[in-house]
Amino acid sequence: MAEKFQGLAVPSRSECLALMDRYDMLANIREHSLLVTAVALKLGTSLMEAGIPLHLPLIEAGALLHDIGKTACLGTSRNHAEWGAQIVTTAGYLEVADLVREHIIVVSDGGDPAAIRETEIVNYADKRVLHTQVVTLAVRFADLKERYAASEEARRRLATLEEKARGLESKLFFHLDFTPFDLLHLNHNRREP
């Protein structure tokens, strides 16, 4: 397992927080990112305990930086996931950039469909955090539909995204000894940078 992760360039937590500062991440986006990180680390740690080979520092960095491009993209038509991936690539963290790029939609299949990848954990963790609260997928997608389902095409895209998120949830929790509902307990934990 160590060979799989050897040579990955992954920023430390403090380096991620410094990048958040450098790119003027708004406080509410930072708080959202910290909570997404708590969810992702809970899942990653638990999956590793279940025998799934994962790179926890990569999960942490991807979760912390998944919205690094969001502040700059507010009020524009720019895709914050793509812009964030460019920022992280420029900083020299190519593997982390993949997680940032795919935090909205997992594009790459990674080969083995049964394998669990770090990008899937970050993607799912983001789907479970509405602003600064861990919520169920139903609550998260109800909010997304309310805000973004103005057209039939948008409604179809969101329905597809929700279906994929539910499939990913089943895939992840198949290996875990707790339920998706149990993640709501993370709302009661204090989040520190």
Res 3: pLDDT: 45
Q: 23-63, pLDDT tens digit by residue?
A: 999 999 999 999 999 999 999 999 999 999 999 999 999 99
Maximum alpha-carbon separation in the chain: 47
CATH of domain 7-184: 1.10.3210
- Choice between 178 and 190, residue whose per-residue pLDDT is larger: 178
Domain boundaries, the chain: 7-184
pTM score above 0.85:
yes
pLDDT confidence tier of residue 192, bands split at 50, 70 and 90: low
pLDDT surpassing 50 at residue 2 = no
Which residues are registered as beta bridge partners of 129? 134
Using alpha carbons, select from 105, 96, 100 the residue that is nearest to residue 127: 105
